[in-house]
Amino acid sequence: MKEEPKDEEQQLTRKIKPYKIVYPIAIGLAVVSWMLYKEFDPKAFDAIHFTWNSVFWLLVALGCMFTRDWGYVIRIRVLSGGKLSWWQSLRIIFLWEFTSAVTPSAIGGTSLAILFVHKEGIGVGKSSAMVMATSFLDELYFIIMFPVILLCVNQSELWNIAGATKAVVDSLMLFAVIGYSLKFVYLVILSYGLFRNPRGLKYLLMKLFKWRILRKWRHSANEVGSDIVRNSRELRSMPFSFWLKTFGATFFSWTARYWVVNAILVAFWSGHYDWAQHFLIFARQLVMWIMMLVSPTPGGSGFAEYVFSTYLGEFLPNAGVAIAMAILWRLISYYPYLFVGAFIVPRWVARSFGKKAGHTKTKK
């Protein structure tokens, strides 16, 4: 048992070493440099006018990211039943976001989130239930909002990308369909296991992972199945008010994140967009994030900048400006988590796995 903390530390430091911030930054810069090389025109940037209005709306964009993070902090604290302090909740969110930023989008930071929560003094079972609940709520937001967007926005406007070839449009649509399908299947399986038949799902998982091609992951599948069985009891007993609070926090978090781009555009071209265009920009961002699910790069680096300049480029004066706005968007919504995480992770590891860590009381 004494070796367990050491094993956990090795697992953690192997996956989220601070130097890994170099990879997504390098990938992002490489893609942006390539796009600038193709589209660079000094006169293109004459369309950007920086004023005090720009300062105000860029602060609004930062405020949207603050709202997004604060919604996550509220959610994790509610899920803990108030056992986590505000500071502990904030620290967990930044650690989680850093992990998501340095791993491929399809993997995200969920695999280590249980460890983050547990090391803040929450029991392993409760930590697992909390992380599984956040995963359920995030996927529920996308599953609900995507059809709502399709009903509220003209289909031709959503997919009619000015200046893009049919092949590019078809590939982006394919990414969106694959991303949404993965989320839908995952949510259905998770909902069935958590709220309907947890033991039946574990049995199906074990049967599935008997296949030769999947056999080497059978032990991990067994652990996932056990987590679902254990967490099902706790999550099914939660009152409706609990789910209302946590989904409300989830809704405000993700929605605030999508308004970041709208605020950035208004910062430089206020008055150029009506409410219908703003809602279309919001809708395209939601579709963009679903596309990014299938990106193999850390935090969607490179792919995110490309999709932004392609999918939202028609709302900007020219291709060169679109690339510049893509960089600004990532500077506000992505890169801060890399640098804050690189600062927090070493100190958190030292505190959580140091000599004094063993004296931390676990909250049931």
User: pLDDT for 4-28, tens place per residue?
Assistant: 444 555 555 555 555 556 666 676 6
Give the span between the Cα atoms of 19 and 337, in whole angstroms: 13
Rounded average pLDDT over 95-120: 75
Answer yes or no: are the C-beta atoms of 299 and 24 closer than 8 Å.
Answer: yes
User: pLDDT for 314-350, tens place per residue?
Assistant: 888 777 788 888 888 888 988 888 888 778 877 887 7
Q: Look up the pTM and report it.
A: 0.81
- Cα-Cα-Cα-Cα dihedral sign, residues 164, 144, 184, 109: positive
What is the DSSP track for 73-94?
A: HHHHHHHTTT-S-HHHHHHHHH
User: pLDDT for 251-278, tens place per residue?
Assistant: 999 999 989 999 999 988 877 778 888 8
Q: How many CA atoms lie within 13 A of 85 on its CB side?
A: 5
* 84-98, 112-126, 320-334: which is most confident: 84-98
- For the record, the structure tokens of 341 come out as 């995480």
Give the span between the Cα atoms of 292 and 304, in whole angstroms: 7
User: pLDDT for 14-72, tens place per residue?
Assistant: 555 555 566 666 766 676 666 655 555 566 566 677 888 889 999 999 999 999 999 99
User: pLDDT for 133-153, tens place per residue?
Assistant: 898 899 999 999 988 888 888
Which of left, alpha, beta for 299 (phi over 0: left; psi -120 to 50: alpha)?
Answer: left
Q: What angle do CA 219, 225, 230 make, to 5 degrees?
A: 125
Q: What are the beta bridge partners of residue 104? A: 298
SS3 (DSSP) at 257: helix
User: pLDDT for 281-321, tens place per residue?
Assistant: 898 888 888 887 777 676 677 778 788 888 888 888 777 78
Answer yes or no: are the C-beta atoms of 344 and 88 closer than 8 Å.
Answer: no
Give the span between the Cα atoms of 350 and 345, in whole angstroms: 9
Give the span between the Cα atoms of 298 and 144, in whole angstroms: 26
